């Protein structure tokens, strides 16, 4: 039987740093990774146009001053290939690969109470035993294909953005259909349109999207950030979202409308998420939100020539930003191209994939390729995919049947020494993932070090602390407009998934302070066993 101090599941940005930190503690760790390479999200999501919509100088590790000084990003927002190259560089630079087992999926993990160890099983029939189990499995890693009948009959090729062929796909001369207009679809559509002979976009719900204004990184800006990189990162750690943005502190509704317009216009010019932070009440007050939503709809009407198409692209069923805001390059302009068509599948739903293409209630669209940009079983999907059993053989999936229950989004009662990096109930997807990953990994490493130094066997949340935190996460979400949308934040994209606001909206700075205080009070709310 293979024994380690810790098993880490996943070799994305979380798993890589976790391994590095555990090694620094002098502990043995084995990372198990389903993919044949590292990089997690950036390993799988290779679709055309895939890029991060947090700026490169923020969406990167801060743990090594030499690394952050030496690495050169080329663009304001990095493309998938550059981020993957960066992850690979980090793995080589810190000699991480030798403790990563690729092409191996963890299928089950059981807590052996008598031994105080996790027994981890893989799809290769291996069993590993470890005191600690860290799920670094990502928030958006279980790609979701909709239940459309007839896919097996399709004569062309089909793809999911979240599981893209490594050699890329050449759409030149093809009739391509894209299903889904979330961030992935909105990034892919303009790039696919440049190749395809015909592009048909099947839209169920329009999303709000703001321009990225991406371009080469300004060398002066890079120099400015790098001169005070440590201080810059420290300020991000205590900010709301963990990325560079001017946080408006005024209430939109208290301002003259003309001033609001100018401010929204200014932020539109900055691009990215800036506009969502323009005022303090945008995500809490429906009236304030409606002003920004109408501003965004006006921009769509300006960008799209055909008024009927423009109206179809205007979101009306959810508040601005309550589904994850998309950040685009030429998305709306793509609909001005003569070979691109938008099909409303809200009024005429997709009925089936047929051998020659897609059939909706209105027509049959002949296609050579279908791209599913249909999203993920977010935040809990990757955890539920592993048969995790804690004390008394209780399954995590069963305990979370009505929604995830955690303490700090880090641990669950009844599952000693099981840690989740950016788990549900933590800021995770409401923040720059890299800021949150580093905070979680550091907290977990310090916790494991604490147990080791004090010769403690295990840590797990006290049920009362877990109840309080779970209620707090829900209350914080309920004070915002996020629950008004059928989003993946709410689990609403997965039939049968409980409708619960999954991330913690309190902000990374507030959350960090809470986590630090818990530690300062001797792991308040946790039970530590000798």
Question: Residue 4 or residue 51: which is nearer to ligand NA7 going by CB?
Answer: 51
Quickly list DSSP for 335-376.
GGSTTEEEEETTTS-EEEEETTEEEESS-EEE-SEEEE---B
Q: x/- string (CB under 6 A) for ligand NA7, residues 280-309?
A: ------------------------------
Quick check: 138 binds ligand NA7 (CB under 6 A)?
no
Interactions with ligand NA7, residue window 175-204 (CB under 6 A)? 179-185, 204
Minimum CB–partner distance for residue 430 and ligand NA7 (Å): 10
Task: Name residues contacting ligand NA7, limited to 423-482 (CB under 6 A).
Answer: none
Specify the pairing of strand 369-372 against strand 157-160. Answer: parallel
Q: What distances in angstroms separate CA 374 from CA 292, 389, 517, one per listed residue? A: 26, 30, 40
Nearest to ligand NA7 of 187, 244 (CB atom): 187
**Cβ 326 to ligand NA7, closest distance in Å?**
7
Phi and psi angles of residue 241, each rounded to the nearest 5 degrees, phi first:
-105, -5
Instruction: Report d(CA 282, CA 275) in Å as an integer.
Output: 10
Per this entry, what is the length of the chain? 530
Tell me the closest approach of the beta carbon of residue 437 to ligand NA7, in angstroms.
14
| DSSP strand pairing (526-529 vs 458-461) | antiparallel
Q: Which two tokens stand for residue 405?
A: 């229950």
Contact string (CB under 6 A) for ligand NA7, positions 491-520, x = contact: --x---------------------------
Give the whole-angstrom CA distance, residue 81 versus residue 125: 33
Query: Can you tell me the distance from the alpha carbon of 284 to that of 252, in angstroms, rounded to the nearest whole number?
Result: 11
Q: How are beta strands 387-389 and 418-420 bridged, if at all? A: unpaired
| Residue among 64, 107, 195, 205 that touches ligand NA7 (CB under 6 A) | 205
Contact 21, 149 (CB under 8 A): no
Least distance from ligand NA7 to the Cβ atom of residue 41, Å: 8
Rounded CA-CA distance 478/492 in Å is 15
Whose tokens are 């990502």? That residue is 138
- Report the residue from 87, 91, 106, 140 that binds ligand NA7 according to the rule CB under 6 A: 140
Q: Are 428 and 500 within 8 A, CB to CB?
A: no
Work out how close the CB of 173 gets to ligand NA7 at its nearest, in angstroms, rounded to a whole number.
26
Binder of ligand NA7 out of 5, 85, 146, 450 (CB under 6 A): 146
**Residue carrying structure tokens 């039939």:** 495
With contact defined as beta carbons under 8 Å apart, do 5 and 132 qualify? yes
Q: What's the distance, Cα to Cα, between the start and end of the chain in Å? A: 25
- Min CB(273)–ligand NA7 separation in Å: 11
**Which residue number, 146 or 525, has a Cβ lying nearer to ligand NA7?**
146
Among 488, 501, 504, 526, binds ligand NA7 (CB under 6 A): 488
> Which member of 374, 380, 431, 436 binds ligand NA7 (CB under 6 A)?
374
User: Nearest approach, Cβ of 200 to ligand NA7 (angstroms)?
Assistant: 13
Of residues 181 and 276, the one with the C-beta less far from ligand NA7: 181
- Of 357 and 414, nearer to ligand NA7 (C-beta) is 357
The tokens describing 319, both together, are: 């508040």
Query: Binding of ligand NA7 at residue 40 (CB under 6 A)?
Result: no
Residue 324 within binding range of ligand NA7, rule CB under 6 A: yes
CB of 156 to ligand NA7, least distance (A): 18
Give whichever of 164 and 279 is closer to ligand NA7, judged by the CB atom: 164
Size of the site for ligand NA7 (CB under 6 A): 21
User: By C-beta, is 79 or 128 nearer to ligand NA7?
Assistant: 79
Q: Which is nearer to ligand NA7, 134 or 140 (CB)?
A: 140
Q: Of 50 and 448, which has the nearer Cβ to ligand NA7?
A: 50
DSSP track, 252-311? GGGS-HHHHHHHHHHHHHH-GGGGGGSSTTTTT-HHHHHHHHHHHHHHHHHH-SSHHHHH
User: CB-wise, 346 or 391, nearer to ligand NA7?
Assistant: 346
Identify residues 326-345 at the interface with ligand NA7 (CB under 6 A): 345
Cβ 201 vs Cβ 345: under 8 Å: no
**Under the rule (CB under 6 A), what is the footprint of ligand NA7?**
140, 146, 161, 179-185, 204-205, 324, 345, 350, 373-376, 488, 493
């Amino acid at each position: 039987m293979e024994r380690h101090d810790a098993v880490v599941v996943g070799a994305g940005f979380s798993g890589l740093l976790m391994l590095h930190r555990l090694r620094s503690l002098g502990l043995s760790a084995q990372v198990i990774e389903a993919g044949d390479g590292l990089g997690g999200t950036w390993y799988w999501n290779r679709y055309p146009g895939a890029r991060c919509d947090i700026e490169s100088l923020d969406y990167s590790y801060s743990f090594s001053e030499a690394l952050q000084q030496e690495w050169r990003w080329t663009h304001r927002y990095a493309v998938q290939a550059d981020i993957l190259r960066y992850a690979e560089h980090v793995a080589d630079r810190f000699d991480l690969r030798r403790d990563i087992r690729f092409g191996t999926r963890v299928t089950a993990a059981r807590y052996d109470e008598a031994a105080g160890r996790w027994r981890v099983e893989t799809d290769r029939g291996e069993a590993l035993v470890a005191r600690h189990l860290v799920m670094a499995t990502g928030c958006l890693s279980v790609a979701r294909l909709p239940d459309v009948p007839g896919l097996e009959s399709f004569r062309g090729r089909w793809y999911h953005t979240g599981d893209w062929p490594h050699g890329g796909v050449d759409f030149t001369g093809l009739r391509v259909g894209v299903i889904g207009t979330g961030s992935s679809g909105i990034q892919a559509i303009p790039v696919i349109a440049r190749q395809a002979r015909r592009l048909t976009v099947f839209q169920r719900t329009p999303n709000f999207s703001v321009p990225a204004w991406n371009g080469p990184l300004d060398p002066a800006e890079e120099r400015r950030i790098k001169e005070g990189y440590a201080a810059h990162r420290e300020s991000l750690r205590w900010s709301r979202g963990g990325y560079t943005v001017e946080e408006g502190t005024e209430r939109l509704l208290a301002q003259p409308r003309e001033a609001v317009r100018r401010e929204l216009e200014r932020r539109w010019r900055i691009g990215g998420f800036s506009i969502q932070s323009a005022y303090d009440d945008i995500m809490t007050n429906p009236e304030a939100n409606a002003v920004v939503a109408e501003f965004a709809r006006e921009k769509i009407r300006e960008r799209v020539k055909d008024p009927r198409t423009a109206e179809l692209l205007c979101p009306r069923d959810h508040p601005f930003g309550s589904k994850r805001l998309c950040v685009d390059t030429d998305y709306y302009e793509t609909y001005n191209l003569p070979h691109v068509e938008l099909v409303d599948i809200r009024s005429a739903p997709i009925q089936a994939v047929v051998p020659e293409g897609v059939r909706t209630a209105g027509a049959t669209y002949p296609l050579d390729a279908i791209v599913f940009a249909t999203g993920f079983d977010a935040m809990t999907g990757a955890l539920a995919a592993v048969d995790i059993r804690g004390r008394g053989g209780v399954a995590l999936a069963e305990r979370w049947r009505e929604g995830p229950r955690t303490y700090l989004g880090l641990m669950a009662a009844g599952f000693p020494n099981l840690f989740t990096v950016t788990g549900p109930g933590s800021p995770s997807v409401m923040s720059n993932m890299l800021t949150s990953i580093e905070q979680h990994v550091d907290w977990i490493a310090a916790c494991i070090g604490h147990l080791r130094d004090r010769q403690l066997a295990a840590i797990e949340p006290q049920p009362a602390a877990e109840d309080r935190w779970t209620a707090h996460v829900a209350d914080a979400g309920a004070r915002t407009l996020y629950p008004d949308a059928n989003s993946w934040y709410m689990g609403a994209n997965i039939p049968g998934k409980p409708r619960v606001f999954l991330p913690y909206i309190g902000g990374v700075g507030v959350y960090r302070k809470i986590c630090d205080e818990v530690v300062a009070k001797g792991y308040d709310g946790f039970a530590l066993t000798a």
